[in-house]
Structure 1
Amino acid sequence: MPKRAEIRIASRADHAPVGPAGSGLFSYAEGEDLYEHGGSHPPFEEDYGHIGLEHIGWRLEVRSREDFRGMPTGASEAGLIEHIAKPPVHRVSVRPEQVGSHWEEHGTWMRPPLLIDRRLLALPDGGLQVLEGRTRVGVPRGRLREGLKVAPCHPAWVGRPRDASAH
């Protein structure tokens, strides 16, 4: 059975600590920050501020690399993933050394991105979109184009309507 994440929610008005630094909107039950910008990132607020996040069930899933090829992000940052995919080696090189080593050894990210079921956004085309982790999703797109190692499957936290997350 896939591992479930307990996600705690904090609004801008709620100044209670959420992650280790108290700056995140989401955090794993273990305390690792998932989303570091929280409510202070205007594109995030624009794209997702209307969703009742407390009604989302989170599950760690293993997804095929094909699932990520054309996966969009929020409308306010459309095209960002493709922009990131253009220089994948650079995107990894500006991260801590262990990130690059992990890509070379495993062909995947160290920390799973967050994806959201597009039904939560009332979008007719369904599927998933990147909620957080645009660089993590862009890097394998670029690495595939450049013939670099990319694992066939990748872990990702997927948020679905609570009634659908049990499936």
Structure 2
Amino acid sequence: MKFSDLQNINFLRFEAESSIKRLQNEYGIDAPKSVIEQFYIDHSDKFQFQELYGAIDLNSIEWQLVEIPTSKMLNLGRSATHPDFILEVSEDASHYDEIGDSAIDCRENVLENWKQHGTWITPPIFIKGEVLGKPEIDLHLVEGHTRVGCLCGLTNYQVIEVAKVHKVYLGKLKSVN
């Protein structure tokens, strides 16, 4: 099944669990629930996602929850679905002295997690460049631009101490045996 095929499925947007089970059971999708929800369900009907990821064979991707160093996050460059948005969000931290904690997040649980653990609650989603047919790209951010932008801003403007590593879902091509 290709990512483009997802746009033809009628997902129950406010019933994520049933949509996840449907993709797993009816379509044989093998991915972490968070990846299915954040990437496959939430963005299957978005034009830019279809342009970038429509040709990807979802069954060719192996997903892992891994830890990535902060330094790699800071050096993504333009390798993301929405690279300008990462920069825009990161600049929120430059206003911390004026607007306080809302420069990090207005949701109390998210704010507290950043302050206590120096990272996000829900891991963002990355793929290796090989999945896009661009093996020269190490990491490509698919979903989680606000989280990664926040991390970049908090680090660049030294608002809070961030963790040295962060959990992310990483998709790479399955090995051919």
TM-score by length of 2: 0.74
The code of the aligned residue for 1:34 comes to Q
Counterpart of 2:37?
33
Q: Secondary structure at the match of 1:87?
A: helix
- The question of 1:84 aligning with 2:89 is answered yes
> CA–CA distance in 2 between the matches of 1:87 and 1:115?
23
Contact kept in structure 2, 1:19 and 1:32, CA below 8 Å: no
The structural deviation recorded for 1:80 is: 1.8
Contact kept in structure 2, 1:19 and 1:31, CA below 8 Å: no
CA RMSD of aligned residues (A): 2.8
Largest Rg, 1 or 2: 2
- The question of 1:73 aligning with 2:80 is answered yes
Counterpart of 2:10?
15
Q: Secondary structure at the match of 1:104?
A: helix
Alpha-carbon displacement from aligned partner over 1:39-58 (angstroms, at most 9, x marks no partner): 11111111111111221000
> CA–CA distance in 2 between the matches of 1:20 and 1:135?
23
Contact kept in structure 1, 2:63 and 2:170, CA below 8 Å: yes
- The question of 1:158 aligning with 2:163 is answered no
Unaligned ranges ≥5, structure 1: 1-8
Counterpart of 2:26?
none
Unaligned ranges ≥5, structure 2: 24-28, 94-100
Equivalent residues, number = 152
The code of the aligned residue for 1:22 comes to S
Moved over 6 A (4+): none
The code of the aligned residue for 2:63 comes to W
Alpha-carbon displacement from aligned partner over 1:60-81 (angstroms, at most 9, x marks no partner): 001111111121203xx33221
- The question of 1:106 aligning with 2:117 is answered yes
Higher helix share goes to which structure?
2
The structural deviation recorded for 1:120 is: 1.3
Higher strand share goes to which structure?
1
The structural deviation recorded for 1:90 is: 3.9
TM-score by length of 1: 0.78
